Amino acid sequence: MTQTVAVLGTGKIGEALLSGMIRAGWRPADLLVTTRRGDRARELHTRYGVESVTNAEAAKNADVLILAVKPQDMGKLLDELAPHVTAGRLVISAAAGITTAFIEDRLTPGTPVVRVMPNTPVLVDEGMSVISAGSHATGAHLATAEEIFGGVGKTLRVPESQQDAATALSGSGPAYFYFLVEAMTDAGILLGLPRAQAHDLIVQAAIGAAVMLRDSGEHPVKLREAVTSPAGTTISAIRELENHGVRAALIAALEAARDRSRELASGNG
Taking residues 138-161, what's their average pLDDT? Answer: 96
> 241: which residues sit within 8 A by CB, 6+ positions away?
247
Give the pLDDT mean for 235-254: 97
Instruction: Report how far residue 257's alpha carbon sits from residue 164's, in angstroms, rounded to the nearest whole number.
Output: 8
Per the prediction, the chain carries an average pLDDT of: 93
- The pLDDT of 226-234, averaged and rounded, is 96
pLDDT, residue 261, reads: 86
pLDDT at residue 22, as a whole number: 92
What's residue 132's pLDDT?
A: 98
Q: Is the pLDDT of residue 204 over 60?
A: yes
The answer to whether 141 and 132 are in contact (CB under 8 A) is no
Long-range contact pairs involving 72-78 (C-beta distance under 8 Å, separation at least 24)? 72/269, 73/9, 74/98, 74/102, 74/103, 75/106, 77/8, 77/9, 78/103, 78/106, 78/107
Q: What is the pLDDT of residue 266?
A: 73
Closest of 105, 138, 139, 100 to residue 117, by C-alpha: 100
What mean pLDDT do residues 55-76 have?
A: 93
Considering only CA atoms, give the Rg of the chain: 21
What is residue 173's three-state secondary structure?
helix
CA distance 207 to 39: 37
What would the mean pLDDT of 233-255 be, rounded to a whole number? 97
Mean pLDDT of 47-64: 94
What pLDDT sits at residue 1?
54
Closest CA to 54 of 70, 65, 108: 65
Confidence band, pLDDT 50/70/90 cuts, at residue 163? very high
- State mean pLDDT over 42-61: 94
Lowest mean pLDDT among 17-21, 206-210, 234-238: 17-21
Residue 201 has pLDDT above 70, yes or no: yes
- pLDDT tier for residue 267 given thresholds of 50, 70 and 90: low
Residue 268 has what pLDDT?
56
Contact yes or no for 97/160 (Cβ under 8 A): no
Query: Can you give the pLDDT at residue 269?
Result: 58
Kindly give, in sequence order, each residue whose CB lies less than 8 Å from that of residue 31, ignoring residues fewer than 6 positions away: 4, 5, 6, 7, 18, 21, 22, 48, 50, 51
| Average pLDDT, integer, range 238-249 | 97
pLDDT band at 129 (very low <50, low <70, confident <90, very high): very high
- Would you state the torsion angle of the CA atoms of residues 188, 189, 190, 192, taken in this order, to the nearest 10 degrees? 90
What average pLDDT score do residues 204-233 get? 96
pLDDT for residue 189 is more than 90:
yes
- Quick one: average pLDDT of 139-166? 95
Q: Quote the pLDDT of residue 142.
A: 98
Residue 150 pLDDT exceeds 60 = yes
Query: What is the pLDDT, as a whole number, of residue 45?
Result: 94
